Amino acid sequence: MPPTVIKIENLSKYYRLGLIGSGTLREDMGRWIARMRGLPDPLLKIGEKDHGNRKDGQIWALKGINLEIKQGEVLGVIGGNGAGKSTLLKILSKITAPTTGSIKIKGRIGSLLEVGTGFHPELTGRENIYLNGAILSMPRQEISAKLEEIIEFAEMSKFIDTPVKRYSSGMTVRLAFAVAAHLEPEILIIDEVLAVGDAVFQKKCLGKMGEVAQQGRTVLFVSHNMNSIKSLCTKAVLLESGILKNIGCTEGVVDSYLTKNIQEKNNTNSYPSGYIFHKDVEASNKDFDVIGLQLLDMKREPINNAVTWEPLIVRIHYAAKSEVKRGSITVLVKARDGTKLLLCSTQPDSGVPLHIYPGVNSIDCIFRKWPLTGGLFVLGIGIAVPMVEYLFLDESICIIHTEGRDIFNSGMVPVADRYLVATDHDWEL
Amino acid sequence: MQSTENKMQTEEPEWTQIIEPHGHVFDLKLKELWKYRDLIYLFVHRDFVAQYKQTILGPAWHFIQPLFTTITFTIIFGKIAQMSTDGVPPFIFYMAGIVIWTYFSGVLTATSSTFTGNAGLFGKVYFPRLAVPVAHLFSKLIAFAIQYIFFLIFLGYFIWKGAGIHPNVWVLATPVLLLMMAALGFGLGMIISALTTKYRDLTVLVGFGIQLFMYVSPIIYPLSTLPDKWRFWMGLNPVAPIIEMYRYSYLGAGSIDLAMFGVSFIVISVILLLGIIMFNKTERTFLDTV
């Protein structure tokens, strides 16, 4: 078993809310004098409760994180905004200190929270390679040795002696990433830096990262791009409001993250039977809104989930407060990573005219042969004036379960982990 | 099995670093700083190269500034106000004070914006924070060297003219004086930089604070013109004996007051120590408040 290279024990970090912005000496003195005299804080807004020791004013960006990372692991860190991902990376990179707990590290850490940190616009590309490299703790000889390689990777040999301020933003980023990619720490920490550059360069970076991982180095990778997490990471951690929610194989953690939001939004148990989404018309304050989604079979009987290659009817109940003579309804089905798999619209795709009347109406979208394999998919609905604007759009309104079936009579049930769409086909010798 | 277990146990405590909520206040991490000496060199290089890109006069600015200040002082304080300069030609008298004062104020100004001026950089990558002010220490030293050579040229000219200037053996103390000036600028700068992360008011204060500080230091007047009842207060100004000694060693005018020098040494040590403590305390979490 490979040795542990990072050991995080009971790590917490709290930030004080609201107090930070008000940091002028006069206000702090006023607060301090008031406290000495036992008076309430003079700067609190009236009606706001004084929280004494200010426990309420704290936000725990991280709380009680315990984590062990082994050598050679490529760990993806995922979670919504404010989940504490960046805080964790900042503490690991020694940018800010934790409130409690400790991290023990074995090996040289290189962290890339941003590409091009410390680039100086007046200096040339070459000078900036040295400067940036030194900031990332690369010794001078190492940079000199790799200089040609870096310039080549960035595809910049022509402009390397031009001041960086004359570069386009894409060029700057390419140069910056080239430096970063040639950093050779034992542990690499990366925050979303792949979200830059054009598609070709991104691919190149991903390739480089894969290489790094294969060399047996440990990588911690934060990203919102689930595809890159899935393709790079051997293990993933899900953070939620500063708490470590899930840890395990990448697929499982990513899936639980992607479906969690929607499932949390929709408490399926409270829906009338046969509905996969429902809300009261009264609860809606939008001009156009979807108030219910039902799955039905061809006999118009409600069913709980779709079945691969079986007919499926999605009944959309929608409410409108005004009339739209030429409207359109769109049904969208996405994979869990957000890839759009199916899109069916009355207009412009199908050419079915739709007059939306004020009040509550419904429309059926009929799939004669549901093409998706077994697993969870995300359903989205849009109400639109076709080609003009969306009156309502929720790209992930609810989850649609598909039950896999042995459609080819092979004893294998097609599931979404293997492939998403099943199509009728033949083989010929 | 047994052997692998033993191996695991022996491997366990070999952590290369441990991140904990609180560090040691006096720990300057000089070892780590030494590892980053390339970075310090590059910062100095950056400061120097970038500062004068797209300027016509380039590094010439380093001696134009003190030269013009000296000329201005000579005209205003020397000719118009006719203030005493201990019998030394006013030009070289003012220049001596300005050159060493510029080093001090340069270090102080640069160090005091360490945190606020580099928040973006510090927020993204770790390196010993001290590298930034230390780099300033060196880049200001280079600027001082240029001005110093310039000063020596003028000094030579005045000696050649026979203006009653007598450089003496105390010239050898120049490095000590510089070190004390650097330590004071560095210490004060660190205190201010630590405080500005919370109180931005201080950034405003630094600019004109230094100006006021110059007037309460014997730059434009010799200590000898000071009334006796004020001398005690001047004794508390750690800059005063340094400038006085600097001028005495090169110009032969003025006095050396070793008691004042001792006080200055103590005050500077205390400020430097306080600066280090505050810098170290701030360094770890300033990003949360900046």
Distance (Å, whole) CA A232 – CA A229:
5
B10 touches chain A (CB under 8 A): no
Supply the mean pLDDT for chain A: 82
A178 or B104: which carries more pLDDT confidence? B104
Distance (Å, whole) CA A124 – CA B165:
47
What is the percentage of chain A residues whose pLDDT exceeds 90? Answer: 21
Kindly report the nearest CA distance between residue A47 and chain B, in angstroms.
26
Distance (Å, whole) CA A111 – CA B17:
15
* Interchain contact, A136 vs B125, CB within 8 Å: yes
Least confident of A156-160, B3-7, B87-91, B210-214: B3-7
- pLDDT tens for each residue of B113-156: 888 888 888 888 888 888 999 999 999 999 999 999 999 999 99
* Interchain contact, B287 vs A118, CB within 8 Å: no
* pLDDT score recorded for residue A428: 92
At B37, which amino acid appears?
A: R
- pLDDT tens for each residue of A20-32: 444 556 666 776 6
Kindly report the nearest CA distance between residue A78 and chain B, in angstroms.
19
Hey, what are B171's tokens? 């010239």
Residue of B43, B45, B285 lying closest to A97 (CB–CB): B285
Least confident of A50-59, A214-223, A271-280: A50-59
* Interchain contact, B14 vs A140, CB within 8 Å: no
pLDDT(A44) > 60:
no
A225 or A324: which carries more pLDDT confidence? A324
Q: Where does the pLDDT of residue B10 fall: very low under 50, low under 70, confident under 90, or very high at 90 and above?
A: very low
Q: How many CA atoms lie within 13 A of A405 on its CB side?
A: 15
pLDDT(A188) > 90:
no
Selected for mutation to probe chain A from B38, B52, B280 (highest A CB count within 10 Å) is B38
Classify residue A357 by its DSSP letter: P
Hey, what are A150's tokens? 């870096």
Question: What value does the mean pLDDT take over residues A125-150?
Answer: 88
Least confident of A117-121, A305-309, A402-406, B26-30: B26-30
Hey, what are A143's tokens? 């940079």
Kindly report the nearest CA distance between residue B254 and chain A, in angstroms.
41
Name the β-bridge partners of A382. Answer: A330, A393
Q: Where does the pLDDT of residue B284 fall: very low under 50, low under 70, confident under 90, or very high at 90 and above?
A: confident
pLDDT(A49) > 70:
no
Transcribe A361-421 into DSSP letters: EEEEEEESS--B-BEEEEEEEEEEETTTEEEEEEEEEEEEEEE---TTSSS---BTTT-SB
A116 or A359: which carries more pLDDT confidence? A359
Least confident of A166-170, A200-204, A347-351, B158-162: A200-204
Indicate whether this complex's ipTM tops 0.85: no
pLDDT(B31) > 60:
yes
* pLDDT score recorded for residue A51: 38
B284 touches chain A (CB under 8 A): yes
Q: Where does the pLDDT of residue B6 fall: very low under 50, low under 70, confident under 90, or very high at 90 and above?
A: very low
Q: Where does the pLDDT of residue B8 fall: very low under 50, low under 70, confident under 90, or very high at 90 and above?
A: very low
* pLDDT score recorded for residue B9: 44
How far from A183 is each of A179, A209, B81, CA to CA, in Å?
A: 7, 11, 62
Q: Where does the pLDDT of residue A282 fall: very low under 50, low under 70, confident under 90, or very high at 90 and above?
A: confident
* pLDDT score recorded for residue B46: 85
Least confident of A318-332, A366-380, B243-257: B243-257
Distance (Å, whole) CA A384 – CA A331:
11
* pLDDT score recorded for residue A46: 47
Among residues A330, A356, A355, A327, the alpha carbon closest in space to that of A344 is found at: A330
* Most confident residue range from A206-210, A326-330, B14-18, B52-56: A326-330
Residue of B11, B42, B285 lying closest to A96 (CB–CB): B285
Q: Given its phi and psi angles, is residue B6 left (phi above 0), alpha (psi -120 to 50 degrees) or beta? A: alpha
